Amino acid sequence: MWRALVTTGPGQVVDEIAFAGSARGRDLLDAQATTVLSVVSEGTLALGLVLLVVLAAVRRRLALAVAAVVLVAGANVTTQLLKKVVLDRPALGLGDVNSLPSGHTTVAATLAVALVLVLPPAARATAAVLGAAYTAATGVSTLVAGWHRPSDVAAALLVVAAWTGVVVAGLRLRERRPGRGPTVGGGRSGRSLLAAGALVVLLGLAATALAALLLDAAGTVVVWRAAQDAGRAVQLLAYGGGVLVATGGSAALLGSALALLRRTPV
């Protein structure tokens, strides 16, 4: 994703057109977006992590507490390292400050997935739906406020997905020990949420691809002014695609986490 959308001219153009589209109607939604984003902070992350550990401790599930800490810390540290150390943004005429992945989206997504992780199986499906909504609201708010491009949000969700896979794999290895039988909780709900999210992501990608095709059909693209030359319709189409990817990606993330956790310890 980084190589395609950040290190190439066409990729930067598509992302930047969506970014320009987010400015359309920003005055109507900026206050709400700012409110959502103001919830995310280092203090919120620390408090959320403490509450997650307490929930796991109340259930006497030390392994889940450790898994929650590993997930939240691992994903957020990875995001910051990728954004500030590992990845760069070539100067192709559209700015050279790397903003991928989104830190705010990573915080929201990790807390949402970790909450699903530490709760009893009976409560996980509800938590997954609410967590997907919160993660999507945060990701979309970063677009509305002009803080991030769609690729930044998508990359954050992928980082969290990778760490979710790591902690679930660890829990399953532990589960194979003698005396630790499988448990079931949320498998069908997780698959449904995952399928719905994947469909929305595909719609978002289709909208983004269509915007790119329309821009290409319009004639020669000058990178540094592509966003302005694209026009209102193409900007909104690309932006709408980004919103769909952020929303669907959030649902797919929580749905996949819920499905994977169906055989973890209660």
DSSP result, 80-147? HHIIIII-----SSS-----PSPHHHHHHHHHHHHHHHHS-HHHHHHHHHHHHHHHHHHHHHHHHTTS
Q: Compute CA distances 203 → 2, 150, 239, 240, whole Å.
A: 21, 14, 12, 10
Alpha-carbon distance of 52 to 63, in angstroms, equals 12
Q: pLDDT tens for residues 84-143?
A: 999 999 988 888 899 999 999 999 999 999 999 999 999 999 999 999 999 999 999 999
CB 255 within 8 A of CB 192: yes
Q: What share of the chain is helix, strand, coil (3-state, %, to 5)?
A: 80, 0, 20
Mean predicted confidence (pLDDT) in 61-83: 97
pLDDT at residue 234 greater than cutoff 60: yes
Q: How many helices (H) and strands (E) does the chain have?
A: 11, 0
Nearest to 158, CA basis, from 150, 190, 116, 237: 150
Q: What is the pLDDT of residue 8?
A: 86
Burial class (CB in 10 A: 0-12, 13-18, 19+), 88: middle
| From 41-55, 116-130, 132-146, 228-242, the region with the lowest mean pLDDT | 228-242
Alpha-carbon distance of 31 to 9, in angstroms, equals 33
Alpha-carbon distance of 195 to 176, in angstroms, equals 29
Q: What is the pTM of this model?
A: 0.93
Q: What is the pLDDT of residue 264?
A: 66
Backbone dihedral angles phi then psi of residue 70, each to the nearest 5 degrees:
-60, -45
Residue 178, preceding peptide bond in cis (omega within 30° of 0): no
Q: What is the pLDDT of residue 229?
A: 75
How big is the chain by its Cα radius of gyration, in Å?
19
pLDDT at residue 231 greater than cutoff 90: no
| From 7-11, 20-24, 249-253, the region with the lowest mean pLDDT | 7-11
Q: For the chain, what percent of residues have pLDDT higher than 90?
A: 72
Domains in the chain: boundaries? 2-263
Burial class (CB in 10 A: 0-12, 13-18, 19+), 203: middle
If you average pLDDT over every residue of the chain, what do you get?
90
**3-state class of 39 per DSSP?**
coil
CB 237 within 8 A of CB 145: no
Contacts of 123 (CB under 8 A, 6+ apart): none
pLDDT at residue 239 greater than cutoff 90: yes
Mean predicted confidence (pLDDT) in 241-264: 93
Higher pLDDT, 219 or 232: 232
